[in-house]
Amino acid sequence: MSDSNDTSSIDEKKGQESSSGSVESYVSKVLGFLYSIIVIFIIILLYFSSSSLILFVCKLAQANILPTEPNCAPYTTTQPNISPSPIQTNIFTTFTDPEMSMKLEIPYDDYNSKNKIIDMFREYKDKSSSNFLANYFISITESLMQFDYSMINTIMNFFNNSPEAVIIGLGPILVSFLICLGVLFNGLYFIYLWFYNMYWFFKTNTNVSGEGKPEWEDVTFWSPLNWCLAVGLVILFIFVFFFGLPFISFIPFATIFYCILSCLSYKGKINGKSVMSFSLIKDVLKHYKLSFVIIMSIFVVILAFSNLGAIPGVFSILTVALIYWGVIGIDIFNPVKETNLSQSVSYNQATKKCPAVFHKKHGFLYNLIFGQKGGNITSELKKIGKNLHK
């Protein structure tokens, strides 16, 4: 009799433990479901946010105000001629016929024409005390920046001709891939610039007055000391490149990411309202609310089936359907009412004109032997002859 009671007590205790374990397991599943929803929500939010930034840069590329021309500001003091300026670009387009849109303008004004890094480089290059070695690194960095801005301008203007929904939906994926390619091309171009710009080693600033702009003269083998110094620097920087590449490779990486981030600092106007890239995020989330909610609902249903089981999964589908049909009074599936729309304008990029400036530069080996203009041996010999006759 005692054994029977003991067995019954044990079975009852096991049943309680099993029931308690089932509750804990289900609670754990619910918490995992909620955690997964939060993670998915953040991922989708970040995706749409990055799409918003990409959309802004597409419109910036159409405005064609990025510093892509080495002969114009901010690389020089010559202002580019951009027409039309500011150009109207389409944003938040509709699927109607004719297509309607809001208008975003990004003008080439005092704010948008500034670039702190390039402005700093230009000011240094114009100093009377400008040094050839500093100009060597400035030339490399400036050329990389001009290359990166041109690459961004060309690619994003190409994307700008795609339907806006494609930019929002696929933009982050395509741009991530292109950034990887851009980093590769940037590194290869950096290698070329490292050697090409060694002509600066054969330059000397003869302005010792402390006023005005630098006066650059070419170092040739007719100035043995300076020429040997230049050749020594060439040899040194060749060794620096091959043995210090892991350390100097930060230059192309930093340059391309600076150019990308600086594109997000421009200011524009939507229907007269001031806007920046990050403030555009809330507008994109508002105008693409329906897309955001549909994607989020799909993931909620999938997570409900995978984390909670078939019955909660079916219940989640039913809940989403009732919200969509308006039985449950939540208007998350109602699209925003578009206002301030007008017929879409051209997607053509604004034109930019800069004066053509030609600088004759010899190649690296020529500079190594003769200097930048060392080929003018006749004039050098005449100078030596005149000195001998004195």
Cα separation, 258 vs 103, in Å, equals 28
Q: Give the model's confidence band at 384: pLDDT under 50 very low, under 70 low, under 90 confident, else very high.
A: very low
What's the whole-number mean pLDDT along residues 30-43? 92
What's the whole-number mean pLDDT along residues 18-33? 73
Cα separation, 305 vs 299, in Å, equals 10
Least confident segment among 123-127, 193-197, 366-370: 366-370
Name the pTM for this structure.
0.85
- Write the pLDDT tens digit of every residue in 308-353: 888 888 988 998 888 888 778 777 778 777 788 999 999 999 999 9
Q: Up-side HSE of residue 4: CA atoms within 13 Å toward CB? A: 1
For 371: left if phi > 0, alpha if psi spans -120 to 50, otherwise beta; the answer is left
The per-residue pLDDT of the chain, averaged, comes to 86
Q: Give percent of the chain above pLDDT 70.
A: 85
Query: In this predicted structure, what is the pLDDT of residue 372?
Result: 44
Tell me the chain's radius of gyration from C-alpha atoms: 32
Least confident segment among 157-171, 287-301, 311-325, 328-342: 328-342
Nearest CA-CA partner of 87 in 69, 66, 67, 65: 65
74: enclosing H helix or E strand: none
Q: What's 195's DSSP letter?
A: H
What's the whole-number mean pLDDT along residues 6-22? 54
Query: In this predicted structure, what is the pLDDT of residue 143?
Result: 96
Nearest CA-CA partner of 369 in 219, 200, 187, 172: 219
Q: Could you tell me which residue, 385 or 174, shows the higher pLDDT?
A: 174
